[in-house]
Amino acid sequence: MPAPTTKALTVTQFLASLPEDRRPAVKALRAEIRKNIDPKFKESMDGGMISWALPLSVYPPGYHCTPNTPLPFAALASQKSHIGIYLFCVYCEKDGPELFAKEWKATGKRLDMGKSCVRVKRLDDIPAGVVGRAIKRITAARFVASYEAALPASVLEKRAKQAAKAAPKQATEKRTTAKKSAAKKTTRKKATRKKAAQPKAADRKKAPRKKVARKQATRKQAARQRVARR
């Protein structure tokens, strides 16, 4: 895959850097993808392209070619002579490329489809609905299933060994987290009970005042009684 011709770090910068004759097409494609994509996928700039991928928080194994990185789903790139629509999600499906090509050609639009992407030059070249439907029907769960089904046995074996090795550590971490959480709850309960048992500051201030008032009332009453006896 040729390197994209941009050094933009954000999607906004990327769109602003596009030539006037390409910006409408890229914006339209991005809007179509965003409208139909499973919300589990996250958009970002990756390798000079607008990329959508399944984050590690959703799919911890990540992409087998570059471990510990999100699993790529789709991307848009501005190449030297064309706009590249990278639909890894379509290519992972068993009959994905054939179905996609059939739907595209049914619109009467010319299809320039390679082994990794679809190439277009202008907005008029794109049946956006075809792209949108492909994105919509491939949910995160379906994508992971298709991706894993296409993985070599060696990769699956390696992942299984890593998972087995990590399992005891993860179990220990879960127990530690559970204990800490329980300890925090106990501490909060004790603090709540202690606070409830203590009189409020206002009540503590009122108590001495009430005693003083009662003593003064008692002294006044005694004085009145002495005067009455005289």
- Is there a single domain that holds both residue 129 and residue 39? yes
Number of independent structural domains in the chain? 2
Where among 118, 151, 184 does a domain terminate? 151
User: Which segment of 1-10, 86-95, 209-218, 220-229 scores lowest on mean pLDDT?
Assistant: 1-10
Residues 167-217 have pLDDT tens digits of 676 657 777 777 787 778 888 887 777 777 776 655 555 666 777 778 777
Is this prediction's pTM over 0.75? Answer: no
Higher pLDDT among residues 45 and 164, named by residue: 45
Residue 192 lies in a domain: no
Is residue 77 domain-shared with residue 140, that is, in the same domain?
A: yes
Termini Cα distance of the chain: 116
Query: Is residue 216 domain-resident?
Result: yes
Domain presence at residue 173? no
CATH of the domain at 25: 3.90.1150.200
How far apart are alpha carbons 92 and 213 in whole angstroms?
86
Structural domain contains residue 186:
no
> Does some domain include residue 158?
no
Among residues 87, 119, 151, the one where a domain terminates is 151
Is residue 174 domain-resident? no
Same domain, 135 and 206: no
Residue type, 170: Q
Range of the domain at 117: 11-151
CA angle, corner 29, sides to 10 and 89, nearest 5?
90
